[in-house]
């Protein structure tokens, strides 16, 4: 949480930093620096001390150096001019005989992220790549990846890329992995680092040299190379087999994915792979720590969708331990539910029934629902499940009884023969079940099956007497239906109460749905009682089918999604999340306008949120404008917005203009292609709600920062009218420019 560090603190620290007495005492000096860094961590603005810290960085004390460099990295972006002073020391440090210092300096330098300093960094970086110490080389390679966003032209240079490819053969394993990672980022636009047969075989042969993290990454990169022959595939699997034995769960998961990738077209072998991976996965669950256990469970759940039955024999491994955190228990519950088959369902249901008494009412409820789900899926298990549910019901606790009732409701529809077991329970539930949905279920059950109960009507009568205090609409609706149904079967007992209920619902209840249903029943009964009987009772006897939306087989599984967040959230949910993420990013970019436009941009963003696509604009494919007109209009229009865009340096400006033209945004004038300050004037005519509006654009390119700025002027009289126009034009512009392929 940022807080204001008073000027006094800054002054005090500054005095301390320049005090010769403190300087002489290394420990004390370090203490002062420590305080600066710790205040910085707390979020206080320590940037005014920048010059003092730069002075402090020229030191022989390595710890002190590290602290100052940490500080410099943090504030360089704010103090760009002063950062130049730091470069001097850093450059000197790059020539130190001690490789630790060289590496540290190089790492720091590349982390500054200031475009104007690139020229100073270039040389040390290139030298670092050839350094004799692996430690320096590692940092240099990572440095390349860091510089990518600051100086793409330096890094995306052919010779640099060649050199990095060459360094994949470095003798230090960490350098190799760093190289792969760096190339992956640098060449992202072209699909990342290329792994051909040679590189793949080379990496495979060294796979054991790599650290655990290296192995994970290498296994990931190997996914880019698909062996052509079966024999080769088997050789590879033999080599990688050791990774499945690794003590790091991350490596095991990466190896598993790699195996599945290799055997994609060999379903039989894939089966074996699953079996091979089973025990490492199960081990993560029992001994990997709760978080990893959770991840493994998510993956098992994901895999189960394609290979149900894979873990059937090990179902006891998924039983909950008392001290498992709730998220692990919940996941285990889900997995157990999906795993239940004809052979194992008995044990699983017994185990699930143990969780009904868990302290967490949510787990208890979930376990009861799970039993219901198993009963629905496996007709053979229904009797056992229902028996268990009835036993659990005996525990006489509100949340348990509620959940049991709701589970039984579905089962009664599927297996009508259990009705005789369920109905006798109902009277006992009345006292316990008070909550909306569960109570509605209870009332429905009473209406549907309560006729056989001697006191059935009187239970309803009690409820009707208290109907005025009932808040749940659902309960009232069910109560109406239940009483009406009961009326047709035991009219003598029910006539009065139905009358009361109808009267209350029609005259006094404020809810429309309740009133409408009451009125409908009233009119039906009023018109023709026999017809009413057919209408109200008739619907109840139709056969039903209940489908669980999350039953296995519903999700589309892509094995390449393993080891990502997809199995954690499930495909569908993840897709939704990605959508949202994209939308959010668009919005923030739109809001990032310069200060005077911020207000408007915010308005635009708001509009986007409010009515996403209510009014659509289209750009006319033919329009013309003379340069003179352009100039006068540019001067006249005062409805302005600025859009900031990323520039992809591999894209030529002319190509960009062509693309824009294809989207009906035409060029008025542009600077020569190679100009450093490249600029273009564009225009378009937008049609919205049968009106046309002229849009003028000035597009400026900043090659160094790889960004573009588009100043758009709109031919609209009122800002308010133009909001959808502005937002949508911005989207079109962004879409066209970034749709680079």
Partner 1 sequence: MSCSMLYILDLKGKVMISRNYRGDIEPSVIDKFMPLLMEREEELQTSPIISTEEVTFVYIKYNNLYMVATTKKNANVALVFSFLYKVVQIFMEYFKELEEESIRDNFVIIYELLDEVMDFGYPQTTDSKILQEYITQEGHKLETQVRPPMAVTNAVSWRSEGIKYRKNEVFLDVIESVNLLVSLNGHVLQSEIVGAIKMRVFLTGMPELRLGLNDKVLFQNTGRGKSKSVELEDVKFHQCVRLSRFENDRTISFIPPDGEFELMSYRLNTHVKPLIWIESVIERHSHSRVEYMIKAKSQFKRRSTANNVEIIIPCPSDADSPKFKTTVGNVKWVPENSAMVWSIKSFPGGKEYLMRAHFNLPSVEREETEGRPPIAVKFEIPYFTTSGIQVRYLKIIEKSGYQALPWVRYITQNGDYQLRTS
* Least distance from partner 1 to the Cβ atom of residue 116, Å: 16
Residue 30 or 644: the one with the smaller Cβ distance to partner 1 is 30
Closer of 519 and 565 to partner 1 (Cβ): 565
> Which ranges constitute the DSSP H helices of 643-738?
653-662, 719-738
Quote the least distance from Cβ 119 to partner 1, whole Å: 20
Pairing between β-strand 639-646 and β-strand 666-670 as defined by DSSP bridges: unpaired
627: three-class secondary structure by DSSP: helix
Measured from the CB atom, the residue of 561 and 721 that comes closer to partner 1 is 561
To partner 1, the closest distance from the beta carbon of 715 in angstroms equals 34
Q: How far is the CB of 191 from partner 1 (least distance, A)?
A: 16
CA dist 262 → 118, 207, 240, 256 (Å)? 43, 16, 11, 10
Residue closer to partner 1 by CB (options 181, 728) is 181
CB of 199 to partner 1, least distance (A): 19
For partner 1, the closer of residues 254 and 601 by Cβ is: 254
- Alpha-carbon distance of 160 to 169, in angstroms, equals 15
Give the H or E element holding residue 712.
strand 707-714
CB of 276 to partner 1, least distance (A): 11
Shortest spacing between CB 108 and partner 1, in angstroms = 10
Name which of 43 and 416 has its Cβ closer to partner 1: 43
Whichever of 193 and 502 has its CB closer to partner 1, that residue is 193
Non-local (6+) Cβ contacts of 531 within 8 A are 524
Of 539, 460, 542, 526, nearest to 493 (Cα)?
460
CA–CA distance, 274 with 263 (Å, rounded to integer):
11
d(CA 1, CA 39): 11
Q: Toward partner 1, which CB reaches closer, 556 or 577?
A: 577
Nearer to partner 1, 238 or 616 (CB): 238
CB of 26 to partner 1, least distance (A): 8
Q: Which residues lie below 8 Å from residue 91, measured CB to CB, with a gap of 6+?
A: 105, 109, 120, 124
Q: Rounded CA gap, 380 and 389, in Å?
A: 15
User: Cβ(695)–Cβ(714) under 8 Å?
Assistant: yes
Q: How many helices (H) and strands (E) does the chain have?
A: 37, 6
Q: Please state whether beta strands 679-688 and 666-670 pair in parallel, antiparallel, or not at all (unpaired).
A: antiparallel
Burial class (CB in 10 A: 0-12, 13-18, 19+), 356: buried
Output DSSP code: residue 679. Answer: E
For partner 1, the closer CB: 91 or 397: 397
CA distance 90 to 82: 13
Q: Which is nearer to partner 1, 70 or 118 (CB)?
A: 70
Residue 69 Cα distances to 45, 87, 295, angstroms: 16, 11, 37
Nearer to partner 1, 357 or 495 (CB): 357
Q: How far is the CB of 155 from partner 1 (least distance, A)?
A: 13
Q: How far is the CB of 121 from partner 1 (least distance, A)?
A: 15
CA distance 295 to 113: 35
Q: How far apart are CA 104 and CA 117, in angstroms?
A: 17
CB 392 within 8 A of CB 419: no
When the beta carbons of 283 and 670 are compared against partner 1, the nearer one is 283
- Cα 639 to chain centroid distance, Å, stands at 37
- 217/448 with CB nearer partner 1: 217
Residue 718 half-sphere exposure, CB side, CA atoms within 13 Å?
A: 2
207: three-class secondary structure by DSSP: coil
Cβ closer to partner 1: 511 or 564? 564
Rounded Cα gap, residues 437 and 456, in angstroms = 20
Helical segments of 19-49, H only: 20-24, 26-41
Q: How far is the CB of 449 from partner 1 (least distance, A)?
A: 30
- In the complex, the smallest distance separating the C-beta of residue 77 from partner 1, rounded to whole angstroms, is 8
Which residues, in sequence order, are bridge partners of residue 709? 644, 700
Closest separation in Å from C-beta 518 to partner 1: 36
Helices of type H across 528-570: 529-538, 566-569
To partner 1, the closest distance from the beta carbon of 407 in angstroms equals: 19
Give least dist CB 505 to partner 1, A: 34
Residue 60 Cβ, how far from partner 1 at the closest point, in Å? 4
User: Three-state DSSP class for 695?
Assistant: strand
What angle is formed at CA 283 by the lines to CA 327 and CA 564, rounded to 5 degrees? 60
706 sits in the region (left: phi over 0; alpha: psi -120 to 50; else beta) called left
Q: Where are the alpha helices (DSSP H) in 76-172?
A: 80-93, 99-110, 118-129, 134-147, 152-155, 158-167
In the complex, the smallest distance separating the C-beta of residue 262 from partner 1, rounded to whole angstroms, is 18
- Give the nearer residue to partner 1 in terms of CB position, either 115 or 427: 115
Q: Nearer to partner 1 by C-beta: 244 or 600?
A: 244
- Shortest Å, Cβ 316 to partner 1: 5
CA 466/CA 296 separation, integer angstroms = 51
Residue 411 Cα to chain centre, angstroms: 36
If you count them, how many residues does the chain have?
741
Please say which residue, 316 or 599, places its beta carbon nearer to partner 1.
316
The secondary structure of 55-103 as a DSSP string is: HHHS-S-HHHHHHHHHHHHHHTTTTHHHHHHHHHHHHHHTT-S-HHHHH
């Amino acid at each position: 949480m940022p807080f204001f560090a008073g000027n006094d603190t800054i002054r005090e620290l500054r005095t301390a930093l320049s005090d010769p007495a403190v300087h002489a005492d290394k420990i004390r000096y370090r203490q002062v620096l420590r305080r600066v860094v710790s205040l910085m961590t707390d979020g206080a603005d320590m940037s005014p001390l920048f010059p003092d810290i730069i002075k402090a960085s020229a030191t022989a004390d390595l710890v002190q150096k590290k602290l100052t460099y940490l500080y410099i990295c943090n504030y360089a972006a704010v103090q760009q001019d002063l950062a130049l002073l730091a470069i001097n020391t850093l450059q000197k440090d790059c020539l130190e005989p001690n490789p630790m210092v060289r590496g540290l300096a190089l790492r720091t330098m590349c982390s500054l992220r200031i475009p104007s300093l690139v020229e100073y960094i270039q040389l040390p970086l290139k030298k670092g790549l050839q350094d004799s110490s692996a430690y320096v080389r590692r940092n240099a390679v990572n440095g390349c990846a860091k510089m990518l966003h600051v100086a793409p032209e330096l890094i995306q240079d052919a010779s640099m890329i060649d050199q990095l490819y060459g360094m994949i053969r470095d003798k230090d394993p960490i350098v190799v992995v760093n190289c792969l990672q760096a190339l992956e980022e640098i060449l992202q636009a072209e699909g990342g680092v290329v792994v051909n047969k040679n590189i793949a075989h080379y990496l495979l042969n060294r796979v054991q040299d790599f650290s655990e993290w290296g192995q994970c990454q290498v296994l990931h990169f190997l996914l880019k190379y698909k062996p052509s022959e079966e024999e080769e595939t088997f050789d590879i699997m033999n080599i990688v087999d050791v990774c499945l034995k690794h003590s790091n769960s991350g490596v095991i998961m990466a190896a598993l994915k790699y195996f599945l990738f290799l055997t994609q077209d060999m379903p039989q072998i894939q089966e074996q792979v699953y079996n091979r991976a089973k025990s490492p996965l199960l081990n993560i669950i029992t001994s990997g720590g709760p978080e990893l256990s959770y991840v493994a469970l998510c993956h098992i759940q994901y895999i189960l969708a394609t290979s149900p039955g894979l873990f059937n024999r090990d179902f006891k491994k998924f039983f909950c331990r008392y001290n498992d955190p709730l998220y692990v228990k919940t996941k285990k519950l889900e997995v157990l539910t999906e795993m239940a088959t004809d052979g194992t369902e008995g044990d699983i249901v017994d185990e699930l029934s143990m969780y009904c008494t868990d302290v967490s009412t949510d787990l208890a409820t979930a376990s009861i629902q799970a039993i219901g789900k198993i009963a629905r899926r496996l007709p053979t298990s229904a009797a056992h499940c229902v028996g268990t549910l009835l036993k659990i019901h005996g525990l006489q606790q509100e949340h348990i009884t509620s959940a049991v009732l709701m589970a039984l409701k579905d089962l009664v529809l599927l297996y009508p023969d259990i009705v005789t077991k369920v109905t006798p329970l109902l009277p006992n539930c009345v006292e316990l079940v008070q909550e909306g949905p569960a109570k509605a279920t209870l009332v429905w059950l009473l209406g549907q099956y309560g006729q056989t109960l001697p006191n059935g009507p009187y239970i309803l009568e009690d409820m009707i007497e208290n109907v005025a205090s009932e808040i749940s609409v659902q309960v009232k609706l069910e109560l109406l239906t239940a009483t009406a149904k009961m009326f047709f079967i035991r009219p003598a007992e029910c006539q009065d109460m139905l009358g009361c209920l109808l009267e209350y619902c029609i005259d006094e209840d404020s809810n429309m749905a309740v009133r409408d249903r009451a009125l409908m029943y009233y009119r039906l009964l009023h018109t023709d009682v026999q017809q009413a009987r057919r209408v109200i009772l008739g619907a109840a006897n139709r056969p039903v089918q209940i489908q669980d939306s999350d039953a296995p087989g519903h999700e589309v599984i892509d094995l390449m999604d393993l080891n990502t967040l997809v199995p954690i959230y499930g495909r569908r949910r993840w897709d939704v999340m990605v959508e949202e993420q994209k939308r959010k990013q668009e919005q923030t970019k739109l809001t990032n306008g310069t200060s005077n436009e911020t207000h408007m941009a915010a308005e635009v963003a708001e509009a986007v949120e409010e009515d996403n696509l209510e009014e659509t604009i289209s750009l006319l494919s033919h329009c013309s404008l003379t340069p003179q007109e352009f100039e006068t209009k540019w001067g006249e229009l005062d409805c302005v917005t600025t859009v900031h865009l990323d520039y992809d340096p591999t894209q030529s400006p002319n190509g960009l203009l062509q693309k824009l033209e294809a989207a009906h945004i035409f060029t008025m004038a542009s600077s020569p292609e190679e100009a450093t300050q490249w600029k273009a004037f564009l225009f378009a005519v937008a049609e919205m709600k049968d009106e046309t509006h002229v849009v003028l654009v000035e597009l400026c390119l900043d090659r160094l920062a790889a960004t573009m700025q588009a100043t758009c002027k709109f031919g609209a009289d009122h800002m308010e009218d133009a909001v959808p126009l502005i937002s949508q034009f911005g989207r079109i512009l962004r879409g066209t420019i970034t749709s680079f392929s």
